Structure 1
Amino acid sequence: MSRRPAPPPPRGARTHRTRSSSRLRGWLRHHRAMALDSAWRLLKAPIGSLVTMLAIAIALVLPAALWLTLDGARLLDAELTESATLTVYLAHHVDEAQAERVEEALAANEAIGRTRLITAAEGMAEFQQALGLADALGRLEENPLPASVVVTPRDPSPEAVRGLAGELEAMTGVEEVRLDLAWIERLRHLAELGRRVALALAVLFGGGVLLVVGNTIRLAVENRRKEIEVVTLIGATHAFVRRPFLYSGAWYGLGGGLLAWGLLTLGSEWLAAPVSALAASYGATFSLPRLGAAGSATLVGCSILLGWLGAWIAVSRHLAEVRPR
């Protein structure tokens, strides 16, 4: 038994789908046309467009460079914090065998990562080598230095290290536990201050980008006032009128973001050798952090967003003043 063919959809439904599809295609065509037209208008005035993009790039480079510097300081802080150690000085009456047992007890502590025993004789030898007073210190009848154990904690945070120091001081045979975390805390305070300064600069210069793009788009609106009045008179919506200026702001942001990325890359390459040489002179290895793919995309994306937002604010403000006559 043959199946009957499905009835065709109602004519009204087909007409509605056709109109929706046609409206969507028209909307996409207009977006493409406005994007190309706004880019062409920027290319017709290359000097003015380049100056605007360069102003945006300079406004973005300063906070971005400071943020990269702070990121490098954060990495350095992490390396220094991981190298934080405690020095456990044993009592003078503790002999070498007892010192080894104390080290074994310390190594068994779950909060301790590594231990290194320095006997009294080894401590005196290191002290003599550091001061260059081997002959004078060699005349001493008794070694005044105690044995010590250098402890590397698993958790290098200042709070955890202080708690571990208090625990180790209560152990039998331990005379004193020394730690110096003041410089780490100062570095962290400076890094936090730098992050807040970078955030404040980013907000201020972001506002500057909005003003630069907004002023440029305002001039474009004034130059095309007659055209806006005509299209408004024949029924164009505000979204239709606003669209080409929004694309212009986005193009300005894209150009400014790419220029800022180029300036940051060139600056990093220019400063890489002196920074590496300075770090090597202190016996350390340090290199300037780079933006990377994610950082570059974030920089360019924020620039485009600021350009688009500046254009939207400028057009929305002045569009209400444009009335067809």
Structure 2
Amino acid sequence: MREAQPRHTSMRGARGQRPRKGSQLRAWARHHRAMCRDSATRLIRHPLASLLTMLAIAIALILPAGLWLTLDSARLLDAELDESATLTAYLEQAVGDAEAGRVTEALRAHEGVAEARLITAEAGMREFQESLGLEDALARLENNPLPASVVISPRDTAPEEVEQLAGALEEVSGVDEVRLDLAWLERLRRLAELGQRLVLALGGLFGLGVLLIVGNTIRLSVESRRQEIEVVTLIGATHAFVRRPFLYSGAWYGLGGGLLAWMLLSLGGHWLASPVTALAESYGADYRMPSLDWLGSAVLLFSSTLLGWSGAWVAVNRHLADIRPR
């Protein structure tokens, strides 16, 4: 019985600790909810100052977000360019239509060829006449000087792979020459790569700008509440307790700036959609202004909120180290 007494006491102590842990967790959650509401209320009490801070954050987010949308359009254009990356295999002049079909099947059977389309000498002459508008003059020619050709779509559109494929196809019997022009495609790929790096650089630069905007705003808030912070620190408040309302304020600033950026991007897209579409149609292209989908909107809002929270964290940690209770 004597041995059972401590055991019973320890079990009772263990049971007694559980409510304390649960109450601590509930108190922690209540404080988070209270600080979240309190920080939002403080922003609402000063609507003009809060709106100006959020607008500055939105302006800093618009440019990288707009370039991101442009890169999405460039990726769609890059896919179309991949489809247009073709080779033209010119057959020997002596190859007839039947032999041209056999050569086309041999080219189509190559592992690097996705599709091969035969253009006979007569079809090539007709296309040439229609493109130049010289039907009468070219009709007087006794012999057709154009050879049959095969338009080939490669499976891999990488410039190195296409060059190797062209060299391999020239070895096929009946093929006189394989031509390809990758210079323009390579230039466009280089421009797309430059655009990606530019977006990353601007995104990092303007992200730093958001951190500075939020950090400066939170720094002023910390200074205005210095006496309150000193008092709660004297009675035993931890840095995490003191830091919490400022972190929620930074998150609210970031979220508000992200919402304003999303609204401005949407309004700007609708405003520019009509003239951009008309300009594209004048060049015979089908282009539409890119817009943020639900995933892009979620990424924008999450990034802006995280930047606001991070800026507040840096500012509060820096200035809490300088505040000492008197």
The share of aligned pairs that are identical, in percent, is 69
Output the CA distance in 2 between the equivalents of 1:8 and 1:74: 69
C-alpha displacement of 1:236: 0.6
TM-score in terms of structure 1 length: 0.94
Output the CA distance in 2 between the equivalents of 1:113 and 1:211: 52
TM-score in terms of structure 2 length: 0.94
Q: How many residues align?
A: 319
Deviations, residues 222-258 of structure 1 (Å, cap 9, x unaligned): 1101111111111111111111000000000110011
AA paired with 1:135?
Answer: D
Unpaired segments ≥5 residues, structure 2: 1-7
Deviations, residues 240-293 of structure 1 (Å, cap 9, x unaligned): 111100000000011001111111111222222222222322333222332211
Output the CA distance in 1 between the equivalents of 2:121 and 2:19: 92
**For residue 104 of structure 1, what is the aligned residue in structure 2?**
105
Output the CA distance in 2 between the equivalents of 1:203 and 1:323: 34
Output the CA distance in 1 between the equivalents of 2:116 and 2:196: 35
1:77–1:184: 8 Å Cα contact kept in structure 2? Answer: no
AA paired with 1:229?
Answer: E
2:254–2:309: 8 Å Cα contact kept in structure 1? Answer: yes
C-alpha displacement of 1:84: 1.6
Output the CA distance in 2 between the equivalents of 1:103 and 1:139: 30
2:116–2:150: 8 Å Cα contact kept in structure 1? Answer: yes
**For residue 130 of structure 2, what is the aligned residue in structure 1?**
129
Which is worse superposed, 131-140 or 236-245? 131-140
The 5-angstrom pairing of residues 28-39 of structure 1 reads: 28-39=29-40
1:221–1:318: 8 Å Cα contact kept in structure 2? Answer: yes
AA paired with 1:84?
Answer: A
Which is worse superposed, 234-243 or 158-167? 158-167
Moved over 4 A (4+): none
Output the CA distance in 1 between the equivalents of 2:294 and 2:203: 20
**1:13 to 2:14 alignment:** yes
**For residue 260 of structure 2, what is the aligned residue in structure 1?**
259
2:145 counterpart SS class: coil
2:156 counterpart SS class: coil
AA paired with 1:138?
Answer: A
Output the CA distance in 2 between the equivalents of 1:180 and 1:26: 70
Output the CA distance in 1 between the equivalents of 2:307 and 2:292: 19
The 5-angstrom pairing of residues 109-120 of structure 1 reads: 109-120=110-121
Output the CA distance in 2 between the equivalents of 1:37 and 1:139: 89
Which is worse superposed, 42-51 or 117-126? 117-126
2:107–2:172: 8 Å Cα contact kept in structure 1? Answer: no
Output the CA distance in 2 between the equivalents of 1:110 and 1:8: 79
**For residue 172 of structure 1, what is the aligned residue in structure 2?**
173
**For residue 270 of structure 1, what is the aligned residue in structure 2?**
271
